[in-house]
Amino acid sequence: MDPLLKVNEAHKNGILPDKVYSLIVDRFQIVLEGIGRIEKASGINFPLAYIEPSVVISQPAGSFDYGIFFARTLPVIVNEKVEIIIQITAPLVAYGLKGTIHAILAHEFLHYLELTKRMSKMEIVSDEISGNLFESMYADTTRLFEPRAVFDDKTLLLHITKKFPEGFRDYKLEDKVMKNWIQKKLPTINIALDSNTVKIPADVLAKTQVDPSLIQKLDQIEQRASKLRKKKLY
């Protein structure tokens, strides 16, 4: 899978201007560095990932507030089996600082681990629905593995802690995306919060096999997380 396939197609079809396309391609190296860093810090391979040549926005009905999804972890069905893919939006690659990009990649990697754990235990038939952006961000952080139990990289952990105290917000990045992407009418995907969920049929889930070595590593992470929680309590 070519991570830049959809970006290349969007540029070829005249959807992405030359300047924006070049910026995305040039800064894609930061994404590759982040993936390598996450794999080294966790000892686990990063899942399939691709660059979506759009900004993804969610706005609750009747509200002036909106949320920008800079990346999403998407379980998809391929050949009657579940495959987990990381969708990284082009505006993040184009305008995000290196630390921000790496923090978001690490956060989505935690989602990947959490979904993989739930798949291995047949617990991914349906997900929660929240129509409120704040509630959605809070729920997002409560489901994940403790980052300190996953990553052996102090700088990366610092980036995650600073960027995701209670859901990701980076107002400078959002302003850049609003000015350089949304206001210039570049590709935009609007989604409802209650559509940002997944429903996997039980028979498809049953056919999906999780690598036993990955399950073993997830068990080790859970044990480390448990020790960290006990240390925090006492």
The two beta strands, 81-89 and 71-78, are antiparallel
Structure tokens at 80: 């009657």
Q: How far is CA 71 from CA 47, 89, 120, in A?
A: 13, 6, 24
Cα–Cα distance for residue pair 52/67, rounded to 1 Å: 17
Task: Write out pLDDT tens, residues 168-185.
Answer: 678 899 999 999 999 999
Q: How far apart are CA 209 and CA 81, in angstroms?
A: 8
User: Could you give the C-alpha distances from 33 to 48, 61, 105, 127, 213, in angstroms and in order?
Assistant: 15, 38, 11, 31, 24
pTM for this structure?
0.86
Are 192 and 58 contacting, i.e. CB atoms less than 8 angstroms apart?
Answer: yes
Domain boundaries, the chain: 5-233
Summarize pLDDT for 29-62 with one digit per residue, the tens: 999 999 999 999 999 999 999 999 999 998 665 5
Read off the pLDDT of residues 79-130 as tens digits, 9 standing for 90 and up.
Answer: 888 889 999 999 999 999 999 999 999 999 999 999 898 888 776 544 544 4
**DSSP-derived 3-state class of residue 17:** coil
- Identify the pLDDT of residue 82: 85
Which tokens in the block code for residue 137? 């961000």
Query: Which residue shows structure tokens 């559509």?
Result: 195
Closest CA to 186 of 72, 19, 5: 19
CA distance 220 to 66: 38
